[in-house]
């Protein structure tokens, strides 16, 4: 299938598909005219890439865990698992920081509401 077909099947823009290819995340064959052609397997691969991006992983991280998908082995699986745990730990830390920020904003909003309620309108 051509790039437009893959884009339509996956809901991903052709620009994103080209980016995935530039990053080494997706492969294609080229026709004599230079057009990209993808196999049916690429539909699943793009869906997998989308899930990894949605989880907040970078292209670099995704590239490091792809060998587990392409040619599963104990070593590849162990590496991918360790990398995913590292990314999860980073997200937990980030969420903790966001939660602290949210709590601070809630306190400021509550204090502002209390002040506004105690101040008569002009």
> pLDDT tens digits for 19-43?
999 999 998 999 898 889 999 999 9
**pTM summary value:** 0.68
Question: Same domain, yes or no, for 63 and 121?
Answer: yes
Give the model's pLDDT for residue 69. Answer: 67
The verdict on 106 and 73 lying in the same domain is: yes
Q: Which residues, other chains included, contact 108 with Cβ-Cβ below 8 Å and sequence gap of 6+?
A: none
Phi, psi of 115 (to 5 degrees): -65, -40
> Is residue 75 domain-shared with residue 122, that is, in the same domain?
yes
Distance of CA 76 to the CA centre of its chain: 20
Query: Residue with structure tokens 């196999």?
Result: 39
> According to the per-residue pLDDT averaged within each range, which of 19-23, 63-67, 80-84 is highest?
19-23
Asked if 96 and 45 sit in the same domain, the reply is no
Mean pLDDT of the chain: 90
Say whether both 30 and 64 belong to one domain: no
CATH, residue 45:
1.10.1660.10
User: Rounded to an integer, what is the distance from CA 64 to the centroid of its chain?
Assistant: 14
Write down the residue that tokens 């392409």 correspond to.
Answer: 70
Q: What residues make up the domain containing 18?
A: 1-54
| Domain shared by 107 and 64, yes or no | yes
The crossing angle, in degrees rounded to 10, of helices 41-54 and 59-70 is 140
Per the CB < 8 A criterion, the answer to whether 28 and 38 are in contact is yes
Distance CA 57, CA 63 (A): 10
């Amino acid at each position: 299938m051509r790039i437009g077909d893959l884009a339509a099947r996956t809901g991903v823009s052709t620009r994103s598909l080209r980016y995935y290819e530039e990053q080494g995340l997706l492969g294609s064959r080229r026709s004599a005219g230079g057009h990209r052609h993808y196999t049916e397997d690429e539909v699943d691969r793009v869906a997998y890439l989308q899930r990894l991006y949605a989880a907040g992983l970078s292209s670099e991280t995704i590239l490091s865990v792809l060998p587990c998908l392409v040619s599963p082995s104990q070593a590849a699986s162990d590496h991918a698992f360790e990398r995913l745990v590292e990314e999860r730990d980073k997200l937990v830390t980030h969420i903790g920081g966001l939660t602290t920020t949210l709590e601070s904003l809630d306190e400021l909003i509550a204090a502002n509401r209390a002040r506004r309620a105690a101040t008569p309108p002009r």
